[in-house]
Structure 1
Amino acid sequence: MKVRSSLSERPGFLAVVLLILIGVGLVISSFSRVGTSMLCSLAGPTFLRPVDENYSPTGIQLQAILHYATSRQTPQQSRGEIGVSFEVLKARAPCNFLVFGLGFDSQMWASFNPRGTTLFLEEDPKWVQTVLKDAPHLRAQTVRYRTHLKEADHLLSSYRSEPSCSPSEAVLLGNAQCRLALNNLPDEVYEREWDLIMIDAPRGYFPEAPGRMAAIFSAAVMARRRQGSGVTHVFLHDVNRRVEKVYAEEFLCRKYLVKAVGRLWHFEIPSAANATEVDGARFC
């Protein structure tokens, strides 16, 4: 999601993405018959789902088909990694889906959540303008981070000494004391409960980059404070990198890790009220 340079050309993968997005052939054939559009998700046995003859595609899904059918830009995640999130979205949509990062795969993620709310959070205002110029139907907001990747070790070793970072006390909105808390997000982020959270940004591959420390911590706080039923699904990409892995184990918890494919980890995090084991001093 966070790659801004041109991606390598992968025609085979483009075909897979098209199949994942929606059954293009079914949509086209339905247009030519009675106007009743059918949509299904196809990409081999993993992505099969029953076809509802009364189901009509949304505008954002059709926009995604057009985009990926006419572009060489392909999603950054692999087919297997995409499939992990896709299976959850297929079962939960329409839902509230929060995505850290805006990029070449954003139209795909939005189309996987038809009639739901998908919101993208991006660090670079210019990049937001670039993406929305070609995809104005996406919902994206700019976020300012207060951290740098080079601070990751210090923040991890010192956060316990700050009461406003503790699991029992941590909130996000207005929490200026805890630097890992994203305290200046758009109001909508705080007003909604997010069923799924994808962390594939901000940048975390050079010392001055924001790193994903605050995104991981804040996702854990959102999940723990959930009031609605069910768990919060958190997907973290690039776990091959040390900071992502260490912060995931500290805040998202190995015991909540339900699937790992490639560089993606999938967590199912219960609210603090529904957790079987609660430690007020530690997240995990």
Structure 2
Amino acid sequence: MKTSSKPAEVDLLPSSSSSDDNHGGGIREMTQLLILCSIFVFLLLSSLMILRKSSFAPSITIALPSVAKSKPIFPQPASSSDTLFGSSRRKMSSGEIKSISAALSRCNNITHCNFLVFGLTKETLLWHSLNKNGRTVFVESNAYLVRDLESNQPEIEAYDVEFATEVTEMYDLIESVNEQVRNECRPVQNLLYSDCPLGINDLPNYVYDVEWDVILVDGPWGINSGEAAGRMSAIFTAGVLARSKRNGEKSVDVFVNEFDREVEWICSEEFLCTEENLVESKGSLAHFVIGKMNHDSNRFCLNSGS
């Protein structure tokens, strides 16, 4: 008897529920992987962009405002070089310098010239050089300038003098001189022993014994106002020294710089006698020629009562 048998069926495919679970898990894993990759790529690109910008960014220079050096609160004394060559003092014109130079040349042609200068100025070294064969003495009110000059130019002879006058006292001082013109303020005398309020009597003794040939009044420096010393004493002293010359017949050349100012103008009229003795005026420089006077003279100008 013939029997027929049917082979058993084998289910090779997974069941639908198992397939769905596995499929869902794979998707989640792929999604997470994609997210991680995206974050990684984003961070990488960001880093590259930052590096790129930093490497190509132009350098920026910030200009800070310069800070000026602080100036001293208190004014410092000027050096002699500043005062002589670079200060605010007026520089003489070539015509004014030539006038003084000509007087020194005439003097040196006769004898060694004695040149007295009131004031240290921009022309100080020039005066010393022009009178190199003679003797030049400088009188200055600023003791600091004298010390500085001596240290830098020891061959130059200079003395500091304290002027006790003030410009505001000029007319009173002139009146006092006129009142004492027969005694302490005589036009012919040795000022070393004088108590005249305008006489300079504290220079070295020998200065009063020198026969001065040329005198220049270019100091004290300062404006003619307020408490400035003015040049009253310098002009008065120049007039007395010129008239008190004992030896020889030669007159004395007296120059007054900045003659156009009130003090210089008035005092020159009083003690140098403009009408009688002014021989030349160039720019602001006045040139007087003062002759000797007798010892018993009691007035500065022959044509006045002074």
TM over 0.5: yes
- Report the equivalent of 2:118: 100
Q: Give the structure 1 partner of residue 99 of structure 2.
A: 84
Unaligned segments of structure 2, at least 5 residues: 1-78
Following superposition, the deviation at residue 270 of structure 1 comes to: 0.4
Which one is further off, 165-174 or 137-146? Answer: 165-174
Map 1:49-128 onto structure 2 (within 5 A).
76-93=91-108, 94-128=112-146
The answer to whether the aligner puts 1:159 opposite 2:177 as a matched pair is yes
Match for residue 246 of structure 1 among 251, 266, 272 = 266
TM-score under structure 1 length normalisation:
0.69
Structure 2 residue matching 1:234: 3-state secondary structure:
strand
Work out the CA distance in 2 between the residues paired with 1:252 and 1:169: 13
Q: Percent identity?
A: 34
Question: CA shift at 1:269, angstroms?
Answer: 0.5
C-alpha separation between the residues in 2 aligned to 1:236 and 1:169?
Answer: 20
2:277 corresponding residue in structure 1 = 256
Contact 1:165 1:180 (8 Å CA) reproduced: no
Question: Among 189, 195, 200, which residue is 1:182 paired with?
Answer: 200
State whether residues 120 and 139 of structure 1, in contact with CA within 8 Å, keep that contact through their aligned partners in structure 2: yes
Q: What is the match of residue 203 of structure 1?
A: 221
Tell me the CA shift for residue 154 of structure 1. Answer: 1.1
2:188–2:244 contact (8 Å) kept in structure 1: no
Deviation at 1:167, TM superposition (A): 3.4
Structure 1 CA distance, aligned partners of 2:121 and 2:145? 8
Q: Structure 1 residue 90: deviation in Å?
A: 1.2
CA displacement 1:129-153 (0-9 Å, x = unmatched): 2233332221111112221111111
User: What is the DSSP-based 3-state SS (H/G/I as helix, E as strand, rest coil) of the residue aligned with 1:173?
Assistant: helix
Residue 133 of structure 1 aligns to which amino acid in structure 2? S
TM-score (norm. length: structure 2): 0.64
The match for 1:219 is 238
> Alignment length, in residue pairs?
217
Q: Which residue of 1 aligns with 2:7?
A: none
1:198-237: CA deviations, max 9, x gaps?
1000124132221110111111111111112200110000
**Residue 75 of structure 1, CA deviation:** 7.7
Counterpart Cα distance in 2 of 1:151 and 1:76: 28
Q: Conserved in 1, the CA contact under 8 Å of 2:140 and 2:146?
A: yes
Q: Sort the Cα spacing of 1:83 and 1:153 in 2 relative to 1 into closer, same or farther, 3 A.
A: same
**Residue of structure 2 equivalent to 1:30:** none
Instruction: Please give the alpha-carbon distance, in whole angstroms, between the structure 2 residues aligned to 1:150 and 1:72.
Output: 29
Distance 1:75 1:247 in 2: 21
Check conservation: 2:188, 2:240, Cα contact below 8 A: no
Looking at structure 2, the residues matched to 247 and 165 of structure 1 have their Cα atoms a distance apart, in angstroms, of: 18
CA distance 1:149–1:103, change in 2 (3 Å): same
Residue-by-residue CA offset, 1:184-210 (whole Å, 9 max, x unaligned): 112221121100001000124132221
Question: Is the Cα contact below 8 Å between 2:213 and 2:252 reproduced in 1?
Answer: yes
| Cα drift, residue 169 of structure 1 | 6.1
**Which whole-Å CA distance do the structure 1 matches of 2:173 and 2:114 have between them?**
30
Tell me the CA shift for residue 170 of structure 1.
Answer: 4.6
Distance 2:239 2:121 in 1: 23
Distance 1:189 1:220 in 2: 15
Question: What CA distance in whole angstroms lies between the structure 2 residues aligned with 1:170 and 1:283?
Answer: 16
Counterpart of 1:194, as a letter, is W
SS at match of 2:191: coil
**CA pair 248-120 structure 1, distance change in 2 beyond 3 A:** same
Matched-pair contact (CA < 8 Å) for 2:118–2:234: yes
The separation in 1 between residues aligned to 2:188 and 2:285, in whole angstroms, is 29
Let me know the Cα RMSD of the aligned residues: 2.8
